[in-house]
Amino acid sequence: MPILPPNSPASAVGTTFQDHLNRVALVLGNRNDLLAGTPSRIMGWIRDSYINLAMSYEHDTLEQTTTGQLAAGTDNIPYPADARAIDAITLYDTNSGVAIQPDFKDMQYLRMFNTLATAQGPPSVWAPQNGKIYFRPIPKNTYSLIIDYWQLPQIQDPNGNVVNPYESGTDISATPVLLPYDWLEILDYGAEMRGHAELLEREKAQEIQQLLFGFTIPLTGKFVPGMIGQILMRRQAQAPRSDYGIQPRTPKRSFTNVP
């Protein structure tokens, strides 16, 4: 899967790690020892914050699509190497063009299918196992396929190559931050929280943690949501426009006490 360059439309909504460095460094006191090394400690905290956000929340900026082929008699294909999770798999019969959307199941369910050649047919279910995607029934015909998935965070060197996020000596400052605008502030806060925690500034780390994730008022037991809990993902913002089942609408009724 080709990696999007920093100036691509998908990454234009975000920034790079370097763009977040000065703000985080300022909050942490602009200490030279925190800025030394490649990657620096602050750059490492930005990286960790980004990885956490990109792998914990399904952002629309991390949606990707790949295509391939499922040959007749073949029951599996490799799981996309850069996929965090698969949203949908669509198969198209190369002979008839008919589209099939197999349902997601677990391997226990797939093991119950007959694997004899006489039982081959259009795949109706799929399940992931050990880096592969398995289909049942085993396809009798060849299918072209489209996989829509949630991409893993891609940590890059200055040349745009995806690298091991924790490889020392590698400059990762040019990594594009593929997050919506309202998550960029949260990325900074996440890096600052990690910095305060490692510098044993526990009260500052706790304040940011409560700001991000919320807290419970001890006297009342009421939970106050944090910034992350109040942000709408695209699917949540779009939910009111989804095509739900038709329900009859009735006028609002008011009731009063009748003597």
pLDDT in tens, 107-153: 999 999 988 878 899 999 999 999 999 999 999 999 999 999 999 99
Least confident of 136-140, 194-198, 216-220, 235-239: 235-239
Which residues are CB-contacts of 127 (< 8 A; sequence separation ≥ 6)?
104, 105, 106, 107, 109, 110, 133, 134
pLDDT in tens, 183-203: 999 999 999 999 999 999 999
Rounded-to-integer distance, Cα 21 and Cα 19, Å:
6
The angle subtended at Cα 49 by Cα 85 and Cα 35, nearest 5°, is 145
Confidence of residue 245 (pLDDT cuts 50, 70, 90): low
Give me the pLDDT at residue 119, please. 87
Give me the pLDDT at residue 61, please. 92
Please state the pTM of the whole predicted model. 0.83
Residue 149 structure tokens: 């998935």
Q: Name the residue ranges covered by the structural domains of the chain.
A: 15-60+155-230, 62-151
pLDDT in tens, 68-98: 999 999 999 999 999 999 999 999 998 888 8
